[in-house]
Amino acid sequence: QWTTSSIVDDQVKRIADQVGDGRAICGLSGGVDSAVAAALVQRAIGDRLTCVFVDHGLLRSGERTQVERDFVAATGVNLVTVDARERFLDALAGVTDPEEKRKIIGREFIRVFEQAERDLKAEGDYKFLVQGTLYPDVVESGGGEGAANIKSHHNVGGLPDDLQFELVEPLRLLFKDEVRRVGLELGLPETIVQRQPFPGPGLGIRIIGAVDAERLETLRAADAIAREELTAAGLDGEIWQCPVVLLADVRSVGVQGDGRTYGHPIVLRPVSSEDAMTADWTRLPYEVLEKISTRITNEVAEVNRVVLDVTSKPPGTIEWE
Ligand code: XMP
């Protein structure tokens, strides 16, 4: 019978054995897997672990703070943040095709992460790379041992295979719910441990049209309101996730305050799901929808309409791009 604390003890011992007196690097995404993996390795080897967090500017409101302040406070981990916002905006300028956006974001992410690694390696010998690979990922990718066999689809952290690191993967035998329990056992904040899925390419694939700083601000503000109201209504456990999407290339006429507006619609995409392979649209209470709609149109300039996506998956995917 595996208890959560015995999983922690066992993994900490294994990590300590594997890494010995070496040093390890871990990329943090803001998500639960990389956070729990890093916290376990931190337990085992302390400040011989350095975490790298790339701010690509496509994060939601508060996510950078959650990593820089809350995660660091909970673990005492060494953290290097790379502010790559300009770089990603430049690379994405004018790009509207979803696959092209994903490729650009993935490519830039790898370049920034590799540069951070080189900078760190110049200071010391980092031989180990920590990955938050879960058991379902291992199964999906054929269970390859050893080599940097990291699933590239859906993962902005998908790293090239010529990396000269030995992998440390303390979550390899765990399912998501076990990872969350381990995270809680390690004292990580609820905001990280209970976080709903969020795609690696972030808000970049929730702006339908080209990505720019102003559109990101608009979407970030609308997303923050939707999340706040869903949480306040106690609905986080019921929904799998609720993408909030900005139709940046669509305008519609509205009347707000004293006059006519010509703004953009925001789409709410609340879904219920077991594993994201299929999903149903969540029947949110009308009062909650009303609150979100009123607040977004009142508080977010440029948005004059809120619409609800009532498509299941299939035929629609969860994300719009
Ligand atoms: P779709 O849109 O394919 O999404 O129905 C299924 C689940 O995967 C998430 N998703 C991603 N996660 N990188 C990620 O890490 C990605 O590129 C990506 N695209 C989609 C999505 O949020 C949903 O939970």
For 307, left (φ over 0), alpha (ψ -120 to 50), or beta? beta
Whether residues 34 and 155 fall in one domain = yes
Whether residues 179 and 264 fall in one domain = no
Residue-wise pLDDT tens digits, 212-227: 999 999 999 999 999 9
- Reported as a pLDDT band with limits 50, 70 and 90, residue 123 is confident
Where does a domain end: 162, 193, 224? Answer: 193
Whether residues 106 and 238 fall in one domain = no
Q: Is 260 in the pocket of ligand 1 (CB under 6 A)?
A: no
75: tokens are 């673990």
Residue-wise pLDDT tens digits, 267-280: 999 999 999 999 99
Q: What string of DSSP letters covers 96-109?
A: --HHHHHHHHHHHH
> Residue 115: which domain range?
4-193
The residues facing 220 across adjacent strands are none
Across 302-321, average pLDDT: 98
Write the CATH number for 287: 3.30.300.10
Atom of ligand 1 at shortest range from CA of 279: 5
Where does a domain end: 193, 216, 231? Answer: 193
User: Does 29 appear as a known binding residue?
Assistant: yes
Whether residues 54 and 188 fall in one domain = yes
* pLDDT of 118 above 80: yes
* pLDDT of 155 above 90: no
Q: What string of DSSP letters covers 165-224?
A: -EEE-TTTT--HHHHHHHHHHTT--HHHHTPPP--TTGGGGSBSS---HHHHHHHHHHHH
User: Does 234 appear as a known binding residue?
Assistant: no
Tell me the H-state helices in the chain.
Answer: 4-19, 32-45, 63-65, 72-75, 85-92, 98-123, 135-140, 176-185, 190-193, 213-232, 286-299
Could you tell me if residue 314 is inside a domain? no
- Reported as a pLDDT band with limits 50, 70 and 90, residue 149 is very low
Q: Is 317 in the pocket of ligand 1 (CB under 6 A)?
A: yes
* pLDDT of 97 above 50: yes
What confidence score (pLDDT) does residue 158 get?
53
C-beta separation of 49 from 77 below 8 A: yes
* pLDDT of 153 above 50: no
In sequence order, the 6+-apart residues with CB closer than 8 A to the CB of 206 are 219, 223, 243, 244, 245, 246, 319, 320, 321
- Reported as a pLDDT band with limits 50, 70 and 90, residue 147 is very low
C-beta separation of 279 from 309 below 8 A: no
Site to substitute for ligand 1 among 154, 208, 275, 311, most atoms within 8 A of C-beta? 154
Q: Is 201 in the pocket of ligand 1 (CB under 6 A)?
A: yes
Atom of ligand 1 at shortest range from CA of 319: 2
Query: Total domain count for the chain?
Result: 2
Whether residues 169 and 32 fall in one domain = yes
Could you tell me if residue 321 is inside a domain? no
Cα torsion 271, 274, 278, 284 to 10°: value is -20
Write the CATH number for 49: 3.40.50.620
Q: 197: CA distance to ligand 1 center in Å?
A: 8
Whether residues 173 and 300 fall in one domain = no
What confidence score (pLDDT) does residue 317 get?
97
Angle 21-192-47 (CA atoms, 0-180°, nearest 5)?
20
The residues facing 279 across adjacent strands are 313
- Reported as a pLDDT band with limits 50, 70 and 90, residue 1 is low
What confidence score (pLDDT) does residue 117 get?
92
Distances (CA, A) of 117 to 36, 121, 166, 180, 200: 20, 6, 14, 28, 19
Could you tell me if residue 244 is inside a domain? yes
Q: 152 versus 179: which is more confidently predicted?
A: 179
CA 116 to mean position of chain CA atoms? 19
Whether residues 157 and 243 fall in one domain = no
The residues facing 268 across adjacent strands are 244, 308
Q: 145: CA distance to ligand 1 center in Å?
A: 25
Task: Give the Cα separation of 137 and 265 in Å (integer).
Answer: 36
Whether residues 142 and 99 fall in one domain = yes
Could you tell me if residue 219 is inside a domain? yes
Q: Is 4 in the pocket of ligand 1 (CB under 6 A)?
A: no
* pLDDT of 154 above 90: no
* pLDDT of 67 above 90: yes
Average pLDDT of the chain? 93
If one counts every other C-beta atom within 10 angstroms of the C-beta of residue 211, the result is 29
Whether residues 39 and 188 fall in one domain = yes
In sequence order, the 6+-apart residues with CB closer than 8 A to the CB of 222 are 244, 246, 266, 296, 300, 303
- Reported as a pLDDT band with limits 50, 70 and 90, residue 162 is low
Could you tell me if residue 249 is inside a domain? yes
Q: 152 versus 61: which is more confidently predicted?
A: 61
Count Cα atoms within 13 angstroms, Cβ side, for 156. 32
Atom of ligand 1 at shortest range from CA of 197: 24
Q: Is 276 in the pocket of ligand 1 (CB under 6 A)?
A: yes
Q: 54 versus 258: which is more confidently predicted?
A: 54
User: Does 33 appear as a known binding residue?
Assistant: yes
* pLDDT of 308 above 70: yes
What confidence score (pLDDT) does residue 160 get?
58
For the chain, percent of residues with pLDDT exceeding 70? 93
Task: Give the Cα separation of 254 and 266 in Å (integer).
Answer: 13
Whether residues 174 and 222 fall in one domain = no
Could you tell me if residue 92 is inside a domain? yes
User: Does 32 appear as a known binding residue?
Assistant: yes
Could you tell me if residue 319 is inside a domain? no
Could you tell me if residue 81 is inside a domain? yes
Whether residues 29 and 59 fall in one domain = yes
Q: Global pTM?
A: 0.91
Where does a domain end: 193, 218, 248? Answer: 193
Whether residues 245 and 284 fall in one domain = yes
Q: Is 155 in the pocket of ligand 1 (CB under 6 A)?
A: yes
